[in-house]
Amino acid sequence: MRHSIALMDAADANTPLDAQQEHWQRILASSPDRFGTAASEPALAAVRAFRELGARRLLELGAGQGRDTLFFASHGLEVTALDYAESATAAISAKLAARGLSDRVRVLGHDLREPLPFPDGSFDACYSHMLYCMALTEAQLARLSTEILRVLRPGGLNVYTARSTSDPDWGQGTHHGENLYESGGFIVHFLSDEAIERLTEGYELVSVERFEEGPLPRRLVRVTMRRPD
């Protein structure tokens, strides 16, 4: 596991959006399976799409504590899992070691506001569950989507989920610009249909599916986009 990014102290962070890194670091250190141990519903759907594509090399972004990472690895995918919270990458590495799956997964510490550290065309697919709704502005999401496009091979898929503007938490708490709201210490970017459309730039849009997760329930979208051949 490589974790080269320096963690900022919340007090040193320049903006509330920057301070989210330290927040996630603390939250994920305090509870080993914050999002549960079972694979998420979008991971179950994505693995079927990846199988149809004949995908082997998968990039997972904002992997958290690895509930989906372990699932993808157990389905034979070669996973590269990225997260900027060291407590997240450490948790994934420990779980992989306990299951003897360490050689199937590369775990890296990386801030996704920075360019992806991979050559062009390195992956058949990219997957992220609730990363596109983190403390990232739309400009940062657009740069990330363009980076994902670069590291996908032609015909490769980018499957992401995000909380949407129809989520019950949309508009609650402190507003941080665009559709970013902070509640209970978490800043969430709720994606509108228009933002989803703008983030397809350079891709072919395959599908936008709506689903719910958790007790609130959170209202999310699962977006599948393809790098044109």
Ligand X SMILES: C[S@@+](CC[C@H](N)C(=O)[O-])C[C@H]1O[C@@H](n2cnc3c(N)ncnc32)[C@H](O)[C@@H]1O
State the binding string over 18-57 for ligand X (x if CB under 6 A, else -): ------x---x------x----x-----------------
Q: Tell me: does residue 187 bind ligand X (CB under 6 A).
A: no
Q: Tell me: does residue 72 bind ligand X (CB under 6 A).
A: no
Dist CA 229 CA 156 (whole Å): 8
* 194, two tokens: 């228009």
CA atoms within 13 A on the CB side of 19: 12
Dist CA 28 CA 34 (whole Å): 7
Q: Which distant-in-sequence residues (6+ apart) come within 8 Å of 103 by Cβ? A: none
Among 134, 159, 191, 196, binds ligand X (CB under 6 A): 134
Q: Tell me: does residue 145 bind ligand X (CB under 6 A).
A: no
Q: Tell me: does residue 188 bind ligand X (CB under 6 A).
A: no
Contact 224, 145 (CB under 8 A): no
Q: Tell me: does residue 112 bind ligand X (CB under 6 A).
A: yes
Point out which residues bind ligand X (CB under 6 A): 24, 28, 35, 40, 62-64, 67, 83-85, 88, 111-113, 129-131, 134
